Amino acid sequence: MIDVNSGIVEVDVHGMTRRQAKIFIESRLRRCGRDVYRLRVIHGYRGGTQLRDMVRYEISKNPKVIRVEVGLNPGETDLVLRELY
């Protein structure tokens, strides 16, 4: 889902394997334009921590990702692509 006005892109990887989710998220990162400053990954949390850990520790090393933000929802992780000053 892309909300052009907010600059946030959401991707939902529920039900995917770790490998499928990694490929999907990396493809979305490549397609993010300059108007996108945050990629919100919805990975869930009740089905285990494998997807969450992959996003927070492997995808966070992608050169486009400045930092990872963990919010109040344990099933989401935000990848910050650029700062809004």
Residue 79 falls within a domain, yes or no? no
Distance CA 73, CA 9 (A): 17
At residue 2, φ and ψ (nearest 5 deg) are: -120, 125
Residue 82 falls within a domain, yes or no? no
Reply yes or no on whether the pLDDT at 85 is more than 90.
no
What is the per-residue pLDDT across 8-42, written as a single tens digit (0 to 9) for each? 999 999 889 999 999 999 999 999 988 899 999 99
What is the per-residue pLDDT across 55-83, written as a single tens digit (0 to 9) for each? 999 999 999 999 999 988 999 999 999 98
pLDDT score of 4: 46
Reply yes or no on whether the pLDDT at 1 is more than 70.
no
Q: Domain count of the chain?
A: 1
Residue 65 falls within a domain, yes or no? yes
Cβ(20)–Cβ(6) under 8 Å?
no
